[in-house]
Structure 1
Amino acid sequence: MTTNDVLALDATAQDLLFREARTANTFTDEPVTDEQVQALYDLVKYAPTAMNQQPLRVVLVRSAEARERLVSHMSDGNKAKTASAPLTAILAADYEFHHEMPTLFPHFPQAKDTVFAARSSREESARFNATIQLGYFILGVRAAGLAAGPMLGYDAEGINKEFFADGEHGVVSVVNIGKPGENAWYPRSPRLSFDEVFTTV
């Protein structure tokens, strides 16, 4: 029995989202439209988060001025590709997400003032759940026929001061988005086998 016999997702979609998808390091100059971003978000917004808190917030870096500010906080190995990508998104966790809880979790609206009353508990939960949403965001980029280049090589404190000066958000990743350009891929690295990852008890 093959993977295609077991999964509900057809082989073309499996390739698009997983097997053939890669982290892009170069991009063409073809623009990424607001309509594409809206469409991918309308798909990935259904990703699960604890108590439906949805703490992910996204800043789309489009202007030359904002791009320059962002690039100044990227590590040397990430500067050039961030400067040349058609669109870059800063994905952040909203540490004040609890204000939305009465709307997002209406059967327990008091979670805003009980479960998430302490800033420390909100930060931990927001970062964890925004990271879950980051993974789905990358899949959404791929589902839109685009390539994603998620990065952690940056000065987080600098980006937070530059783009989230209110102190209510914390960057979790910077993601370049676009059509893959020339020599976009590094060789695919090995993956662990099923037996190396799974045990049954």
Structure 2
Amino acid sequence: MHPRNTPLDADILDTLFLEARTSYSWTARPVEDSLLRQLWSLARLPPTSANSNPARLVFVKSPEAKERLKPALSAGNVEKTMTAPVTVIVAYDTRFHEQLPRLFPAKDMKSVFEKMPPEAREKQAFMNSSLQGAYLILAARALGLDCGPMGGFDNARVDAAFFAGTSWKSNFLLNLGYGDPASVRPRGPRLDFEEACRIE
């Protein structure tokens, strides 16, 4: 067991950050449902505001489900998505606060969120589901999967196809699988500390 509050080994940092790349094409190796369950068991653990856990995931695997998703994709995202073993619709539940009596029993946070304007509550759901989507990427990499997160789709069409009659809304898409090494691109530039950060 790795001791808490000590740096991770270099090979772990390579897996999660330094050598990881966005995948655009995929091998034929499938992603088993048991691995997706393991993925959620990890991604659900890091923090969200008031332990709200607003993220909701749809693992799009079947050819039929992929065809339902296809019309919502921008042209540049069709091939990479249709060939990915799994595409995750990372969504959020606008009624997430209804779970708070169970998720945050120490205080009546359900009432706090219920009193918010709907747009403020949805902002919380969007922000925290974005956090959970980032956790999902790191968990997937830790389990040996490659990732391809995407915008480039019509949220309204995805919501109509997958979430009609529910309180769920799509945030972003995430292709998962085992990337084709031949398709790996060099990492693009990143901003230096002095460009993006301040210490005050």
TM-score bracket relative to the smaller structure? over 0.9
Worse-superposed segment, 62-71 or 19-28? 62-71
For residues 79-110 of structure 1, the C-alpha deviation after alignment (integer angstroms, 9 at most, x for no partner) is 0111111111111011011110001110112x
- Partner AA of 1:56 in structure 2: A
CA displacement, residues 58-77 of structure 1 (integer Å, 9 cap, x when unaligned): 01112211101101110000
C-alpha separation in 1, matches of 2:68 and 2:53: 27
Asked if structure 1 preserves the Cα contact closer than 8 Å seen for 2:91 and 2:129, the reply is: yes
Q: Does 1:180 align with 2:193?
A: no
Residue 111 of structure 2 aligns with an amino acid whose one-letter code is D
Q: How does 1:78-117 map to 2 (within 5 A)?
A: 78-109=77-108, 111-117=109-115
Percent identity (aligned): 39
The residue identity in structure 2 corresponding to 1:49 is T
Q: Which residue pairs with 2:158 in the alignment?
A: 159
TM (norm. structure 1) is 0.92
Unaligned 5+ runs, structure 1: 1-5
Amino acid paired to 1:146: L
- CA deviations over 1:137-172 (Å, ceiling 9, x no partner): 000110110101110010111101111112511111
Mapped to 1, the partners of 2:13 and 2:90 lie a distance apart of: 25
1:170 aligned residue: 169
Which residue does 1:51 correspond to in 2? 50
Instruction: Give the ranges of 4+ consecutive aligned residues of structure 1 lying more than 4 Å apart after TM superposition.
Output: none
What do you get for the CA RMSD once the two structures are aligned?
1.5
Deviation at 1:187, TM superposition (A): 2.3
Normalising to structure 2: TM-score of the pair?
Answer: 0.93
Note the alpha carbon deviations across 1:22-74, whole angstroms, 9 max, x for none: 11000111110111111122122111111110000001112211101101110
Counterpart mapping for 1:116-155 below 5 A: 116-117=114-115, 118-155=117-154
**Where does the alignment leave 5 or more consecutive residues of structure 2 unmatched?**
none
What's 1:37 paired with?
36
Q: How many residues get paired? A: 195
What is the CA–CA distance in structure 1 between the aligned matches of 2:136 and 2:87, rounded to whole Å? Answer: 13
Counterpart CA distance in 1 for 2:98 and 2:14 is: 39
